[in-house]
Amino acid sequence: MNSRIYILILLFAATFTTYAQDTHKDVHNVTIGVPEVALLDLESSKDKNIEFNIQAPTEAGSAVKITNMNYDMWINYSSIVGSKNASRSVNVQITDGKVADGLQLYIYAWGDAKGGSGQMGSSSKYLMKLSGTEAISIITGIGSAYTGNGPNKGHRVLYYLTKSSDKDYYSKLNSDQSETLTITYTLTDD
């Protein structure tokens, strides 16, 4: 009888251990959310507001000095695009005000200053005339990237004010046309 009890206890224990054990593996889900990011900022080591003052001559019979340049502005951006083939551009346009008659305002963006990482955009190789009627793309091909934040990060911008290409530009200059322009930058999907 002892051996029967012993065998029953062993069978009972074996049955209990079989039902008490988990399977050899288990799973659960981990969700990773990557946000779409499209941020743009203008930075300057000086003031973001640029002032061009045309220099009056000091001698009768001389012309005003028109050519002015400013390259203190920097474009910073952070971008995460939705797919590998997606890209963005930085467009710029005069959204308020008008360049005075007889003058033209040009813009140029240098290549990335190497302060960030990712698929940086490419800038135009030429000066581009700013317009109030249509936006121009000064940086194209931005993928998932960030430039770094602040002056000396991202793309340096040159503003260049000069006489218009009209041969009668000087006769069109008018001191009543002194005006503040609003220049708007937009990070857009291509």
List the structure tokens of 1: 């009888």
List the structure tokens of 82: 């939705």
Read off the amino acid at residue 27.
V
Q: Is residue 4 a part of any domain in this protein?
A: no
- Report how many domains make up the chain: 1
Identify which of 144, 118, 186 has the alpha carbon closest to the alpha carbon of residue 37: 144
Residue 3 has pLDDT above 80, yes or no: no
| Residue-wise pLDDT tens digits, 36-84 | 999 999 999 999 999 999 999 999 999 999 889 999 999 999 999 998 7
| Residue-wise pLDDT tens digits, 80-96 | 999 878 999 999 999 99
Q: Is residue 139 a part of any domain in this protein?
A: yes
| Residue bearing tokens 């002015």 | 68
The pLDDT of residue 146 is: 98
The pLDDT of residue 34 is: 94
Q: Is residue 135 a part of any domain in this protein?
A: yes
Query: In angstroms, how far is the first alpha carbon of the chain from the final one?
Result: 87
Report the mean per-residue pLDDT for the chain: 91
pTM: 0.83
| Residue bearing tokens 């002892």 | 2
Q: Band the pLDDT of 1: cuts 50, 70, 90.
A: low
State the Cα angle at 75 between 180 and 123, rounded to 5°.
Answer: 105
Domain span at residue 180 reads 37-48+55-189
